[in-house]
Amino acid sequence: GAGVSQSPSNKVTEKGKDVELRCDPISGHTALYWYRQSLGQGLEFLIYFQGNSAPDKSGLPSDRFSAERTGGSVSTLTIQRTQQEDSAVYLCASSLWTENTEAFFGQGTRLTVV
């Protein structure tokens, strides 16, 4: 596609359930990022994939959060046993990550835990 695609755009889930959020990056982009955006908290870095390198998981807030990237393309962010504090907009971005490149963002998935 022309841009970064995220699905679903909105997700309402019950506390304690698991959720999966999907990101389709721009074709050919080697780098993929996940962020969480909560009111007043800016963009909180979660995880970063770059090519075949081991992902940078330093931003994952707890072991309930995990992500994978299959075939160097599509990525899935999984949140297990969701809590109300997980409610936020989850943003995905991709880039070539060579000199003079930028990260392109998707529209995000708004997750509401009730």
Query: For the chain, how long is the longest CA-to-CA vector?
Result: 43
Q: How far is the CB of 86 from another protein (least distance, A)?
A: 19
Q: Which is nearer to another protein, 16 or 42 (CB)?
A: 42
Are the C-beta atoms of 109 and 12 separated by less than 8 Å?
A: no
Are the C-beta atoms of 93 and 35 separated by less than 8 Å?
A: yes
Are the C-beta atoms of 44 and 35 separated by less than 8 Å?
A: yes
Q: Looking at 53, 62, 78, 112, which residue binds another protein (CB under 8 A)?
A: 53
∠ Cα 89 93 95 (to 5°): 170
Given 3-state DSSP classes, what are the helix, strand and coil percentages for the chain, each rounded to the nearest 5?
A: 5, 50, 45
Site for another protein in 59-98 (CB under 8 A): 59, 91, 93, 97-98
Q: How far is the CB of 58 from another protein (least distance, A)?
A: 8
Distance of CA 7 to the CA centre of its chain: 10
Q: Which is nearer to another protein, 27 or 98 (CB)?
A: 98
- Contact pattern from residue 10 through residue 49 relative to another protein, giving x for each residue in contact according to CB under 8 A and a dash for the rest: ---------------------x-x-x----xxxxxx--x-
Q: Which residues bind another protein (CB under 8 A)?
A: 31, 33, 35, 40-45, 48, 50, 53, 56, 58-59, 91, 93, 97-100, 102-103, 105-108
